[in-house]
Amino acid sequence: MKNFVLVLVLLTICLTFSINAQNADVAKFTGVKVQNNYIHPQDSPLGTMLYSNGNFITNPTGGAGGAALSALGDSLDTYGLRFNKTLYNWVADDFTVPVNATWTLDSILVYGYQTGSTTTSTFTAASLVILKGETPATATVFAGDTTTNVLGHTYFSGVYRAQATTPTNADRPIMVNSLTTNAVLTAGHYWIMYAVTGSLASGPWANPIVIPGTNTTGNGMQRVSGTWQPAYGATTLFQQGFPFKVYGTSGITPVELTSFTANVSGSDVVLNWATSTEKNNRGFEIQRQVNGTFVSVGFVQGNGTSTEGHSYSFKDSKANIGQNSYRLVQFDFDGSKEILKTVEVDVKAPSVFNLKQNYPNPFNPSTVISFSLPNEAKVTLKVYNTIGQEVSTLINGNLTAGEHNVNFKALNLNSGVYFYQLNAVGIDGKNYSSVNKMVLSK
């Protein structure tokens, strides 16, 4: 593959290395030993290291000048894989944010080299895209882009990439590239996709993870000519992973929301939502936007702390005709709150006048009378006994288009048959009148 560096000498001898810190990046930097969480003064302060994708050091003192060595793995023929932004070569590798966690990132450290450089970095720019999904090809962009330069600092890692047969070769000093980001990640599967530019003609090349005695070191991917493919060696089909470290702060997500939907049922709006986990969750406030401001229209109790999924529902019977915006606000027991999500739904006006049968019927002592108006109207709603005497006026005024519900309480009436009559004069000049019967049974 033309995008990879070809190794000039075949590795035909089985090599065994003495590794003093296999799982820790132990290197030398200007004569001082530094550890896996080494922070260059220019990068300080970094947050906590939230994730490390792997090691690439095979001997902490076996490289040029006593620096650390990253030797080619057994049977591999590739020093690194090209991640040249100018040539549209990108590399990617993945990580997972745990359930019920939120990571606020400040930087991601990635590694690479340009053959022939000194220990002064020749990297000039870098771009970072954070993807969310199962593969880079199918994932969606979560943060970052392919054009913005996010290279904060770049410096020598204290590690040289070389063959085990020529361990003190100093042609490939590996650089640390600190990529800045303020992405906030909730639980899920992510990929970082990144590429760089450099001032030399070589590469730039992303050095892979090294696991002594193991040919396949990860599930890294490389994009060449717009197509994602496994990060293989130049002639060998051993997929490689890429070392990187994620820095930032980690917190607990009180509620992991998996869905929030709004649907119209008649003139009502039914909101449904679900959670996968909850922590100290007192409940949810449902808010509807009124004249540009969100106001509370209801509250649904939560399930405290739970690692199981829960489903919730709320019906708003006072939605406006037209576009309605709802948002879900979660409250902890300590009073803190978080706006989880906003949805919009369109409520259509009824097409005709309609007076519905009261419910329940028979009733004692109260019942609900419902009717629909296709447009604004002057409305009267009255109740009569069987000899035509008016016993109650429930509505006498102007109402907007939509569905309306009126609660009728018959506390002072005797059992028997009653009639309720709706008269409406619409703003379009049309008249409507209807009478229904109901039974009060005490």
- Percent of the chain scored above 70 by pLDDT? 88
Answer yes or no: is pLDDT of 117 > 50.
Answer: yes
Mean pLDDT confidence for 149-178: 95
Of residues 63 and 98, more confidence is placed in 63
Residue 427, both tokens: 């703003």
d(CA 121, CA 174): 9
Residue pair 326/270 in contact (Cβ under 8 Å)? The answer is: no
Answer yes or no: is pLDDT of 14 > 60.
Answer: no
Tell me which DSSP letter residue 280 carries: E
Give the contacts of 377 (CB within 8 A, at least 6 positions apart).
353, 398, 399, 401, 424, 425, 426, 427, 432
DSSP 309-322: -EEEEEEETTPPSE
Token pair 């995008």: residue:
3
Name the residue type at position 64: A
- Mean pLDDT of all residues belonging to the chain: 86
Residue pair 371/355 in contact (Cβ under 8 Å)? The answer is: yes
273-311 pLDDT, tens digit per residue, is 999 888 889 999 999 998 889 999 999 999 998 888 999
Beta strands 90-112 and 221-224 are antiparallel
Band (pLDDT 50/70/90 cuts) for residue 36 is very low
Structural domains of the chain in order of their starting residue, each with its CATH number: 27-251 (no CATH), 254-347 (2.60.40.10), 354-440 (2.60.40.2550)
In Å, how far from its chain's centre is CA 55?
Answer: 28
- Which pLDDT score, from 0 to 100, does residue 212 have? 87
Of residues 219 and 35, more confidence is placed in 219
The pTM for the full model equals 0.55
Residue 164, both tokens: 């085990």
Answer yes or no: is pLDDT of 10 > 50.
Answer: no
Percentages helix, strand, coil for the chain, rounded to the nearest 5? 0, 55, 45
3-state secondary structure of 66: helix
Band (pLDDT 50/70/90 cuts) for residue 388 is very high
- Which pLDDT score, from 0 to 100, does residue 411 have? 92
In Å, how far from its chain's centre is CA 199?
Answer: 36
- Which pLDDT score, from 0 to 100, does residue 234 have? 75
d(CA 315, CA 297): 10
Residue 246, both tokens: 């994620």
Length of the chain: 442
Instruction: Give whole-number Cα distances, 386 to 240, 368, 395, 416, in Å.
Output: 87, 20, 20, 9
Residue pair 175/198 in contact (Cβ under 8 Å)? The answer is: no
As beta bridge partners, residue 34 has: 27
In Å, how far from its chain's centre is CA 194?
Answer: 19
d(CA 239, CA 219): 6
d(CA 374, CA 352): 5
d(CA 155, CA 173): 10
